[in-house]
Amino acid sequence: MTNDRPVVLLDPHPRHTAMIFNPDQLARLHAMAEVVTADAAGRVPDDIVEAALPRVSAILGQTDLPAERIARAPLLRAVINVEGNFLPNVDAEACFARGIEVLSVAPVFAVPVAEMALGLALDLARGITASDRAVREGTERYGRAGCAESVLLSRATIGLVGFGQLGRALRRLLEGFRPRLLVHDPWLPAATIAEEGCEAVGLDDLLARSDVVFLLAGVTKDNPGFIDAAALRRMRDGAILVLASRAAIVDFPALVAEAGRLRIATDVFPQEPIPADDPVRSSAVLLSPHRAGGIPAAFHDIGERVLDDLALVLAGLPPVRLQRAQRQTVGLMRSTAGRSYSKAEAAKLAAR
Q: For residue range 24-44, list pLDDT tens digits in order.
A: 999 999 999 999 999 777 899
Residue that finishes a domain, picked among 243, 271, 292: 292
Backbone angles phi, psi at 108, to 5 degrees: -65, -20
In a domain, 345, yes or no: no
What is the structure's pLDDT at 329? 84
CA angle, 289 then 134 then 285, to 5°: 35
CA distance 53 to 174: 46
In a domain, 99, yes or no: yes
CA distance 148 to 308: 51
pLDDT in tens, 252-277: 999 999 999 999 999 999 999 999 99
The model carries a pTM of 0.90
In a domain, 336, yes or no: no
pLDDT in tens, 207-250: 999 999 999 999 998 999 999 999 999 999 999 999 999 999 99
Mark whether 263 and 123 lie in a shared domain: yes
Mark whether 72 and 115 lie in a shared domain: no
In a domain, 2, yes or no: no
Mark whether 93 and 171 lie in a shared domain: no
In a domain, 348, yes or no: no
For 246-294, the DSSP string reads -GGGB-HHHHHHTBTTBEEEES--SSSSPPTT-GGGGSS-EE--S-SS-
In a domain, 150, yes or no: yes
**Plot region of 333 (φ>0 → left; ψ -120 to 50 → alpha; else → beta):** beta
Mark whether 267 and 135 lie in a shared domain: yes
What is the structure's pLDDT at 334? 57
Region 285-289: what's the mean pLDDT? 98
pLDDT in tens, 61-97: 999 999 999 999 999 999 999 999 888 899 999 999 9
Mark whether 35 and 85 lie in a shared domain: yes
Mark whether 75 and 97 lie in a shared domain: yes
In a domain, 149, yes or no: yes
CA angle, 130 then 131 then 133, to 5°: 65
Mark whether 79 and 126 lie in a shared domain: no
What is the structure's pLDDT at 345? 52
Average pLDDT score, the chain: 94
In a domain, 341, yes or no: no
In the predicted model, is pLDDT for residue 19 greater than 80?
yes
Mark whether 123 and 68 lie in a shared domain: no
Mark whether 161 and 288 lie in a shared domain: yes
Mark whether 40 and 155 lie in a shared domain: no
Mark whether 301 and 245 lie in a shared domain: no
Lay out the sheet containing 34-36: strands in order across.
Answer: 34-36, 7-11, 56-61, 78-81, 101-104, 323-324
pLDDT in tens, 162-216: 999 999 999 999 999 999 999 999 999 999 999 999 999 999 999 999 999 999 9
Region 108-115: what's the mean pLDDT? 98
Q: How many domains does the chain have?
A: 2
Backbone angles phi, psi at 133, to 5 degrees: -65, -40
CATH number of the domain bearing residue 226 = 3.40.50.720
Domain around 165: 110-292
Mark whether 152 and 260 lie in a shared domain: yes
In the predicted model, is pLDDT for residue 336 greater than 70?
no
What is the structure's pLDDT at 338? 46
In the predicted model, is pLDDT for residue 317 greater than 50?
yes
What is the structure's pLDDT at 40? 74
